[in-house]
Amino acid sequence: MSKLLRLLMVSVIAAGCALIEAPATGPLVTVEATGGLCPGGQCGSVIAIEADGLAHQIEPVEAEIHRASNEAIDAYRAALAVTDFDVIRSRPFTGVCPIAFDGQELIFTFATPAGPERISSCEVEIDPEDPLFAAVNGMLGADLRLP
């Protein structure tokens, strides 16, 4: 009887572990800025925010920018958990993309359990007050804020 009970307990524990999502590899979010004029041609950079809070530029050169607090990361994760990307995409950008006049396009790529979600500022009217984008700014800190 005890072997049966142990087998049942192991089965229940294994089933419960299967429900826990594996931690995502790679950054929580990346922000790519393209457009504008730089001495070598079109400007561009990519900033990544890692699960440990490290916000760093990965292109054109690697550079540490900031380390987000645990509170900022928790706020981001909470905002991400309730974000409906279809609602965000329902507000199309209707202006002229800033890259047409030496401005920049921002492309956000969010790591989600369902896979990456890409939001471009030239395709979607991004509300900086939206909790998800506000949380990204919170993780970047006061030194680097996105528009």
The four Cα atoms 74, 144, 116, 77 give a dihedral, to 10 degrees, of 10
Whole-number pLDDT of residue 16: 40
Domains defined along the chain, listed by start? 24-140 (3.30.1560)
Backbone conformation region of residue 141, classed left if phi is above 0, alpha if psi is from -120 to 50, else beta: left
pLDDT tens digit string along 8-50? Answer: 333 333 334 333 343 457 999 999 999 887 777 778 999 999 9
Distance, in Å, from the CA atom of 142 to the CA atom of 133, rounded to the nearest integer, reads 14
Q: Which of 82, 46, 40 is nearest to 61 (CA)?
A: 46
pLDDT tens digit string along 41-99? Answer: 778 999 999 999 999 999 999 999 989 999 999 999 999 999 999 999 999 999 999 98
pLDDT tens digit string along 96-143? Answer: 999 888 889 999 999 999 999 999 999 999 999 999 999 999 998 755
Which tokens is 14 given?
């294994």
DSSP count for the chain of H helices, then E strands: 4, 6
Whole-number pLDDT of residue 19: 37
